[in-house]
Structure 1
Amino acid sequence: MKKYLLGLGLIFGLISTTSAQQFSYGLKGGVNYTMGGEIRGERSGVNSNGEPNHWNGTAEGSSQIGFHGGAFLQVNFGKFFLRPEVVYTSIALKFDFPKYPTQYHTPKKASLYEVQKFDIPFMIGYNVWGPVDIYAGPVYSNILSSTLEGEEVLDEVVAQNTPINLQGGVKAEFGRFGLDLRYEHSLSTPETQNLDLANGEYGVNRAYFEDSRINQVILSVIFKIGGPGLNEGRRRKACY
């Protein structure tokens, strides 16, 4: 939370030192569509009831919808611009593990992998035409929590081993409102982590988190609080 407030303070501090004709600022929020993740089971060993593990396959992460919200500042230099942001993000993946043979167990539920993080994207963009901009840049991601449902040993899953990811996308703004669509690619490398899952609940005991990285497609609604041109319609109406 302190880092989130510090990021907000940085943005609004920049606002106070920038010419009113060069920048816009406001709020953003929306949904995140996640991709990635891989867990591999281990056949060897027994569970807490003395029964052998029956699964050594691989479960791929199933995409889930998350959400985000934050603030932005955009500083324009002709058709180019810089756009720092501060964003809170909540994302998840679901892992569907295969069932044990029915003579041993009843059907099992899926395990949810959840990540909460604080992001500071720094985008460099270009105005392509009218309201349409393209942009790309690095994003600093600070993981607040990362948990795998049913994991009995790890308090936190290592969601990334580098804090820097990459984002790129396109946005269109019309007056105070706009839409922003971007893709975030993780720059972390796969890191194997030992798992000890609640066997009686998920149908898997010992396993390995082979890849905990999450990539995502991010869709945001933009609301501008300040910037040039926002009150032009109101001014023209007052002239009549």
Structure 2
Amino acid sequence: MNKALYLFFIGFLCFSVSHAQEFSFGIKGGPSYVMGGQITGRVGGGTDFAGTVEADSQFKYHGGGFFEIRFNKFLIRPEVIYSAMETEFQFPTQPSTYAVEKVSVPLLFGYNVWGPIDIYGGPAYQKILDASLEGNEPDQPVVVQNNPLAAQAGIKAAFGRFELDLRYDRTLASEEPYIINIVNGGNEGFGINTANFDDSRLNQILLSISFKIFDSAANPGRRKGGCYF
């Protein structure tokens, strides 16, 4: 199945490039504003914390690469993006960092609205590489999402070989609570014991600076048509 998808993707890019007016590829990266996470304590004793804590948003970072194909005012842009994401729970005795690392593969479709300005959107496949909640007992691992798909939409502006890109990345996973155990007592305790992880999904706003390593618009003598893969 993976091989078939890979061959389809390569074939699609070959067909697109052979019919494109322009194409470019490059690297990108920048800060991310990460949002999400909610935990509610479960009462098991007289001193157990039973409140609900929503995680505080945090700034982290992302980086990756892109390939863009343009047809007049329309564009197709597959990307690969690594994201380091964090939010923070303010538990009763000390804060706990909720950290997730993922790789996203969005396939974006865009339109040039004016001059250097493009708008775009599309689906993204997301692979969770690692997820942790500070103070969580290992017998109840963190589960970030039950669906690998997400949606992305944004706007970008080109300045020669550079681009400034602002987008919203939202997971399409559903809210699915589950039970976790958090270190409660002692110097390392967080003041919350058994709890419901009500919502472990994270969404983010990404601000990227992109650099075009190659841009066919800057190389008008390139060969027309054909596949470059």
**TM-score relative to the length of structure 1:** 0.81
Q: Which residue of 2 aligns with 1:172?
A: 157
**How many residues of Structure 1 are paired with residues of Structure 2 in the alignment?**
210
Query: Where does the alignment leave 5 or more consecutive residues of structure 1 unmatched?
Result: 46-51, 99-107, 233-240
Q: Which residue of 2 aligns with 1:238?
A: none
Q: Which residue of 2 aligns with 1:66?
A: 60
Amino acid corresponding to residue 32 of structure 2 in structure 1: N
Contact 1:126 1:134 in 2 (8 A): yes
SS class of match (2:17): coil
Q: Which residue of 2 aligns with 1:31?
A: 31
Task: Say yes or no: does 1:189 pair with 2:178.
Answer: no
Contact 1:166 1:185 in 2 (8 A): yes
* Superposed CA offset, 1:64-97 (max 9, x none): 1111111000011110010000111110110001
Moved more, 183-192 or 120-129: 183-192
* Superposed CA offset, 1:165-208 (max 9, x none): 10000000111111100001121111112111111221111111
Query: Where does the alignment leave 5 or more consecutive residues of structure 2 unmatched?
Result: 221-229
Q: Which residue of 1 aligns with 2:201?
A: 213
Identity of aligned residues (%): 47
Q: Which residue of 2 aligns with 1:79?
A: 73
Amino acid corresponding to residue 179 of structure 1 in structure 2: L
Displacement after TM superposition at 1:34 (Å): 1.0
Displacement after TM superposition at 1:109 (Å): 1.7
Amino acid corresponding to residue 29 of structure 2 in structure 1: G
* Superposed CA offset, 1:4-58 (max 9, x none): xxx9xx78x948983585211100001110112110011223xxxxxx4331010
Q: Which residue of 1 aligns with 2:122?
A: 137
Contact 2:88 2:95 in 1 (8 A): yes
Contact 1:123 1:136 in 2 (8 A): yes
Between Structure 1 and Structure 2, the one with more strand by share is 2
Amino acid corresponding to residue 173 of structure 2 in structure 1: S
Judged with a 3 Å threshold, the aligned counterparts in structure 2 of structure 1 residues 155 and 67 are, in CA distance, closer, same or farther, namely farther
SS class of match (1:145): strand
Amino acid corresponding to residue 18 of structure 1 in structure 2: V
Q: Which residue of 1 aligns with 2:133?
A: 148
Matches of 2:204 and 2:192 in 1, distance apart? 27
Moved more, 219-228 or 148-157: 148-157
Amino acid corresponding to residue 227 of structure 1 in structure 2: D
Amino acid corresponding to residue 90 of structure 2 in structure 1: D
Matches of 2:137 and 2:112 in 1, distance apart? 50
Which has the greater radius of gyration?
A: 1
Displacement after TM superposition at 1:228 (Å): 2.8
Displacement after TM superposition at 1:231 (Å): 6.4
Contact 2:124 2:152 in 1 (8 A): yes
Q: Which residue of 2 aligns with 1:49?
A: none
Matches of 1:139 and 1:211 in 2, distance apart? 20
Matches of 1:90 and 1:80 in 2, distance apart? 31
Displacement after TM superposition at 1:155 (Å): 6.0
Q: Which residue of 1 aligns with 2:227?
A: none
Judged with a 3 Å threshold, the aligned counterparts in structure 2 of structure 1 residues 175 and 155 are, in CA distance, closer, same or farther, namely farther
Matches of 2:14 and 2:160 in 1, distance apart? 19
Matches of 2:117 and 2:14 in 1, distance apart? 23
Matches of 1:15 and 1:225 in 2, distance apart? 19
Q: Which residue of 2 aligns with 1:198?
A: 183
